[in-house]
Structure 1
Amino acid sequence: MSKPDPTQYRPCVGTMLINAEGRVFVGKRIDTKEGDWWQMPQGGVDEGEDLDRAMLRELHEETGLTADKVAIVARMEEELFYDLPAELKGKLWKGRYVGQRQRWYCVRLTGSEADIDLEAHSHPEFSDWKWIEAEQLPAMIIPFKKPIYEKVVAAFSDYTGA
């Protein structure tokens, strides 16, 4: 199988935020109309933006956490790709991309749970959040992202006990 053309995929960062016990933060998506889908923080990388900065920016926008409340534990070297399902192609991101290419981080919360604020950004993405065991992640994500989550869980298992 050939590697996908990266120009066809939206650059993105994802964050597996873990607590001291190795449990993983998940947020319930506000915009999901069908299903009870939860996900880890993730979002687009701006043109020319450093990946670490993009991850910290997205994490702050979605959880309210600032760089002084977290510590980067690990980064996946492999870039992960997923395709949008047919019904979403041409609708998201102004039709520019067929999916996303993601770089994932494992980040430990060094602050307090009280530092988490889902309304820190003017456009919240999550309506609720909770800590879960890493093994639960693939079953909670929207199905077309499941293979990505399986790879992320495996990649960061040393930090979560998965």
Structure 2
Amino acid sequence: MTDPSSLPYRPCAGVMLLNAQGKIFVGQRIDTTLEAWQMPQGGIDDGENAEQAAIRELGEETGITPDKVELIATIDDELFYDLPEDMIGKVWKGKWRGQRQRWFLYRFLGENSDVDIKTRHQEFRTWRWADPAELPEVIVPFKKALYEEVLAGFASYLG
């Protein structure tokens, strides 16, 4: 088996989407039976910068178009998480040990009817608006520390 510490981190971008009531968009992944939720996120493609990837991923996962969001803030540093040992080699074709992510905080300017998770490559089975304080408790445990970092990075913009 490959030593996980020899594998690189997958470059990714994430979106914390804030509605007018100060709640955050979370989706429940379609590929797991866990009751785990997450914010939109995904890999940065060749030729993309992190913000372009964030907007693309937001659209791919939520159906929300760029005209329905407004950038509020970014976290300048990359944030990292490691996959649990039992997942290394099984996800992302075994190429990555975890992710290194750039995070963006956007204000949602649209209506709930602008959200359509039944996208071409559907990733979420359902979605909802969550209170920021509950995020670390509703996501998969191996991302809890990362979500706490994201919350800390955007704390001055959240309620």
Q: C-alpha deviations, 1:49-74, integer Å up to 9, x for none? A: 12111110000000101110000110
Kept after mapping to 2: 8 A contact 1:90/1:96: yes
Aligned length: 155
Kept after mapping to 2: 8 A contact 1:82/1:101: yes
Deviates further, 42-51 or 137-146: 42-51
TM-score normalised according to structure 2 size: 0.93
Which 4+ runs in 1 deviate beyond 3 A? none
Q: What residue number does 2:88 align with?
A: 89
Kept after mapping to 2: 8 A contact 1:12/1:43: yes
Partner SS for 2:110: coil
Q: Are 1:138 and 2:140 an aligned pair?
A: no
Q: C-alpha deviations, 1:53-107, integer Å up to 9, x for none? A: 1110000000101110000110100101111101110111111111100001111
Separation in 1 of the partners of 2:35 and 2:56?
A: 26
Separation in 2 of the partners of 1:48 and 1:15?
A: 19
- Pairing of 1:31-70 with structure 2 (within 5 A): 31-33=31-33, 35-70=34-69
Equivalent AA in structure 1 for residue 53 of structure 2 = A
Separation in 1 of the partners of 2:21 and 2:31?
A: 30
Q: Are 1:154 and 2:152 an aligned pair?
A: yes
Shift of residue 48, structure 1, vs aligned partner: 2.4
Q: What residue number does 1:126 align with?
A: 124
Separation in 2 of the partners of 1:21 and 1:156?
A: 16
Partner SS for 1:53: helix
Partner SS for 2:35: coil
Q: What residue number does 2:21 align with?
A: 21
Unaligned 5+ runs, structure 2? none
Partner SS for 1:122: coil
Kept after mapping to 2: 8 A contact 1:22/1:159: no
Equivalent AA in structure 2 for residue 44 of structure 1 = G
TM-score normalised according to structure 1 size: 0.91
Q: C-alpha deviations, 1:132-155, integer Å up to 9, x for none? A: 110100000100000000011111
Q: C-alpha deviations, 1:26-49, integer Å up to 9, x for none? A: 11111113x210110000001221
Deviates further, 110-119 or 56-65: 110-119
